[in-house]
Every structure is written in structure tokens, then in C-alpha cells.
Amino acid sequence: MQETTPRYTPRPRLTQLLEEGLAELDAGDDPGLPHRLAAYLGLLARWNEAYNLTAVRSPEDMVSRHVMDSLSILPFIGEGRVLDVGTGAGLPGLALAMARPAQPFVLLDSSGKKTRFVRHAAAHLRLDNVTVVRARAEEHRDTDGFGAVVSRAFASIADFLRLAGHLAGEGGRLLAMKGEFPAAELDAVPAGWTLAGAHRLDVPGLDAQRHLLEFVRGVPGR
């Protein structure tokens, strides 16, 4: 990824929160990552005034509720291509792409205003590993498939698997980010999919439950 100094001067408290959160997550040792994340939050806060991209208004509040929440799944995304379904304002996709500049990410959303913002942010931050697609998950096609398909507040688990399951490549996984453990949703998992793992996530600065559920095609042992 090409080095850049984003045109944003973060408030000291914002940079401090990012540095502390990244250290707690052990999210790499790139000294430029806190500044890139701060620049992204600055863009998001400004665009949010006109386009209402997120209910969280303060960049400082966005650190735990958006950025650290997104980066908490870094250990689970693998090394292949990653698709962020229903990316919204670029979460978790943009945060993950900044932390993994050599890994390709595709960020998909059906909303024009959201994909315009994400394209602007990716270009501003010179994220060469990011591709933005405006489409509905069920209509999007990708012949190569993805190693990981991620959903954060996109849909119920059943709808996520039904609408985006075809986008996982051979051996690919669907990763559903959830708050409290969604026991009731698991009762509606469609045939052909298996829960391969459930992980409780520790998000720095966030006093709320977070879980990541991994799904694979087929039945274990077959």
C-alpha cells in the first residue's frame, strides 16, 4: 500500500484511544495505522452530518463501537479474499483493510450514498487493496469466490446464509458478527450450513457482549 499522510489532524484523545485499543487487540505494529484510522473517523464524522451514515456522532465514541468492534475479528478472517456484505459506512471492511494492507477486500452495499462514501474514503486513504461494489448480496456474482464473507448488522443469520452463501469460495466461511449470543437465530439456520465455531469477542472500551459465528457448507465429518 502506498504511504500517505491523510489530510486530517486528529484530536489527541482520539489518537490515544486508537493506540490503546490497537495495543489491547494486538493488532500489529504499524505506526501509521492509528493515524489512518483517525483520518477515516474524521471523514466519517464529516459525511455523517449530511448523510446520516451512523447513529454514532462522536469520533471518540466511534473508536470502540465501530473501529475496535471491527478489528476484533482480525484473527478469524484468514489470509484470502474477504467480502464485507452490507458494509454501510465501511465497517468492518475499511478498518480490516487498513490493518491488512496486503490482503484484498471487497466492500458491498446496495446503498448509493454509502458506497459513495466508502469509495471516497478508500481513495482518500489510498487503500489499493479495497474494491467497492454497489449491489445486493443475492444478485452479486464473483467467479473466484471469497475465503471469508463477513456480515456486521446486515441481516439475521438465516438471511445472511441464504443471501450471501453463494459468494463463499471452495472451503470459504461465512462470518456473522453479533451482539449477544443469538441462540434463537441458530434454530433457523438453513439446511446445508453448519456452525463451525462460535467466539466471544473482547472489544476494547466496549461494555457489551460481542460474538462471532463461523459457518461452513455441509455437515462435519462428511
Look at the chain and count its residues. Answer: 222
**Strands laid side by side in the 146-152 sheet:** 130-134, 105-109, 82-85, 146-152, 168-178, 211-217, 193-200
Q: How does residue 43 score in pLDDT terms, banded at 50, 70 and 90?
A: very high
Q: Is the pLDDT of residue 151 over 60?
A: yes
Q: Is the pLDDT of residue 221 over 60?
A: no
Q: How does residue 10 score in pLDDT terms, banded at 50, 70 and 90?
A: low
Helix axes 33-51, 12-25, angle to 10 degrees: 120
What are the tens digits of pLDDT across the range 66-114? 999 999 999 999 999 999 999 999 999 999 999 999 999 999 999 999 9
Q: What is the CA radius of gyration of the chain?
A: 17
**12-217 CATH, one of 3.30.110.30, 3.40.50.150, 3.20.20.70, 3.40.630.30:** 3.40.50.150
Q: Looking at residues 193-208, what average pLDDT do you find?
A: 96
pTM score, two decimals? 0.92
Q: What pLDDT is recorded for position 213?
A: 98
Strands 82-85 and 105-109, sheet pairing? parallel
Evaluate whether 198 touches 181 at the Cβ level (below 8 Å).
Answer: yes
